[in-house]
Structure 1
Amino acid sequence: MIPVVVSDTGPLISFEKIEGGFALVRRMVGVVLVPPQVYMELSAGLPLGTAYSDHFGLSGLLRVVEAPVPPEATRGLDDGERHAIALALSQDVPLLIEERQGREVALELGLHVSGAVGLILAAWQDRRILQDEAESALRDLFRAGRINRGLLDLALARILGH
């Protein structure tokens, strides 16, 4: 299990789309830190006054933590990405991020990055989730438009041994 990660908005939205997605996250990660900017992005699609963590039952899993000033290298990324990268750097923990440009910047800054698919594959390899759970989660991501057919096929080939 990964004790602590920082997440940008995208991976958490991906886990929303997986049936039982946050239950899977609880088996993979101890705590998910998000900066306030990411939390606001996540809450934007909910009814007024609804807290994201309450809506999805994430008490004890999701923590909002203020991020330091983002590094200059993050200029050009959206506010949530910039602050998620800054928080991951300050905490020295892996970053969950799915947007290509944000991933590239995070890697250049020395962060370990993953997205929902990478986290699912790592959990399957570590035997934290079963093969059928991993396969189902990946198919849910594809059906929800969160991953393309090529990534689905690559990930399924890995877990199905093809």
Structure 2
Amino acid sequence: MIVVSDSTTLIILFDLDRLDLLQNIFQKIYILKKVYEEITYKEDFCIPEFIETVEVNKSDILDYLEYYLDEGESEAIALALEKDLPLVIDEKKGRKIAKNLNIKILGLLGIVYLNIQKGFITKKEAKEFLETAVKNGYRISEKLMQEVLK
């Protein structure tokens, strides 16, 4: 599966050294230049081969999105719409807009869930990972976390 990604999920997975959770389920991830800039703020960040930087075409929808969202989220949503691809995004406002545009969305919890379902990680490993993500500032509702882990 090929997806478009915003930066938040990539950053948390990189920070916790778990980009494998993406590579397990996606053959290719498209990111935009702005997202690339956001995730390479650390000197030691090396973009794996399965993540590809692409450009989005200027469009009315992109102009509209940039009015409501930051540049990275706007471009990611516009590219997902343009290429008819699912979108990895965790920010609430961006998710809501993407859903309204009928874009299939996936966040960190969805990625963890797919890794459990496909046998790449156990529920115990998933729980430990999500607890570490929370300790590192990632906000996850307890209810949603329990839903993923049941």
Q: TM-score, normalised by structure 1?
A: 0.81
Q: How far apart in 2 are the matches of 1:28 and 1:152?
A: 24
Q: How far apart in 1 are the matches of 2:128 and 2:46?
A: 21
Q: How far apart in 2 are the matches of 1:64 and 1:37?
A: 10
After TM superposition, the structure 1 = structure 2 runs for residues 69-84 of structure 1, keeping only pairs within 5 Å, are 69-70=58-59, 71=61, 72-74=63-65, 75-84=67-76
**Structure 1 residue 145 corresponds to structure 2 residue 137:** yes
Which letter maps to 2:114? Answer: A
Which letter maps to 1:8? Answer: D
Equivalent residue for 1:8? 6
Among residues 33, 39, 43, which one is paired with 2:36 in the alignment?
Answer: 39
Equivalent residue for 1:25? 22
Which deviations, in whole Å up to 9, do the C-alpha atoms of 1:64-84 show, x marking residues without a partner?
010122515412210000100
Identical aligned residues as a percent: 28
- Contact 1:8 / 1:38 at 8 angstroms: preserved in 2? yes
Gaps of 5+ in 1: 48-54
Among residues 133, 146, 149, which one is paired with 1:156 in the alignment?
Answer: 146
- Contact 2:109 / 2:148 at 8 angstroms: preserved in 1? no
- Contact 1:17 / 1:140 at 8 angstroms: preserved in 2? no
**What value does the CA root-mean-square deviation take over the aligned residues?**
1.9
Gaps of 5+ in 2: none
Give the match's secondary structure for 1:146. coil
Q: TM-score, normalised by structure 2?
A: 0.86
**Structure 1 residue 114 corresponds to structure 2 residue 106:** yes
Shift of 1:57: 4.4
Among residues 33, 49, 53, which one is paired with 1:64 in the alignment?
Answer: 53
Q: How many residues align?
A: 147
